[in-house]
């Protein structure tokens, strides 16, 4: 039964080549897209999961005036968030130091 199914499928693929190519291209594009979406969602859900109370952590994003979206924020944001929002228990700031190594 299975052998007959593959034989019939092979004959149809050879008979309708253009239709088969379009279907295969569509199938591969959708599979690639599904894998990319799965990878993106998995990556987004994996941030800071090593903390004990990871579900209580939040990360701010900052959009610079030139439209660039950054994961870092201006330095005064942490104390301002604690002052204006009572829900914020603790705030931390992370800065990336740009250093030059002289040869």
pLDDT digit string, tens, across residues 5-29: 999 999 999 999 999 999 999 999 9
At 58 the pLDDT is: 79
Highest mean pLDDT: which of 48-52, 81-85, 92-96, 97-101? 81-85
Same domain, 28 and 60: no
Total domain count, the chain: 2
**Residue 38 forms part of a structural domain:** yes
Same domain, 37 and 16: yes
Residue 40 has pLDDT above 80, yes or no: yes
Same domain, 38 and 58: no
Same domain, 34 and 6: yes
At 44 the pLDDT is: 82
The answer to whether the CB of 58 falls within 8 A of the CB of 73 is no
- The beta strands (E) that lie in 46-99 are given as 62-63, 69-70
Same domain, 40 and 60: no
Q: Which residues pair with 69 in a beta bridge?
A: 63
Residue 101 has pLDDT above 60, yes or no: no
Domain extent at residue 58: 54-84
**Residue 103 forms part of a structural domain:** no
**Residue 25 forms part of a structural domain:** yes
- The beta strands (E) that lie in the chain are given as 62-63, 69-70
What's the pLDDT tens digit per position in 64-96?
788 887 777 777 888 888 889 888 888 877 666
Q: Residues 6 or more apart from 101 whose CB is under 8 A from it?
A: none
**Residue 91 forms part of a structural domain:** no
Residue 51 has pLDDT above 90, yes or no: no
């Amino acid at each position: 039964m299975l052998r007959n199914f593959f034989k019939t499928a092979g004959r149809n693929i050879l008979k309708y080549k253009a239709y088969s190519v379009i279907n295969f291209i569509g199938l591969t594009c959708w599979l690639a897209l599904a894998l990319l979406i799965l990878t993106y969602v998995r990556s987004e859900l994996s941030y800071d999961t090593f903390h004990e109370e990871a579900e209580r952590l939040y990360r701010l994003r900052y959009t610079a005036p030139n439209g660039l979206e950054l994961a870092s924020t201006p330095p005064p944001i942490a104390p301002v968030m604690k002052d204006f929002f009572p829900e914020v228990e603790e705030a931390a700031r992370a800065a990336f130091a740009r250093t030059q190594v002289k040869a």
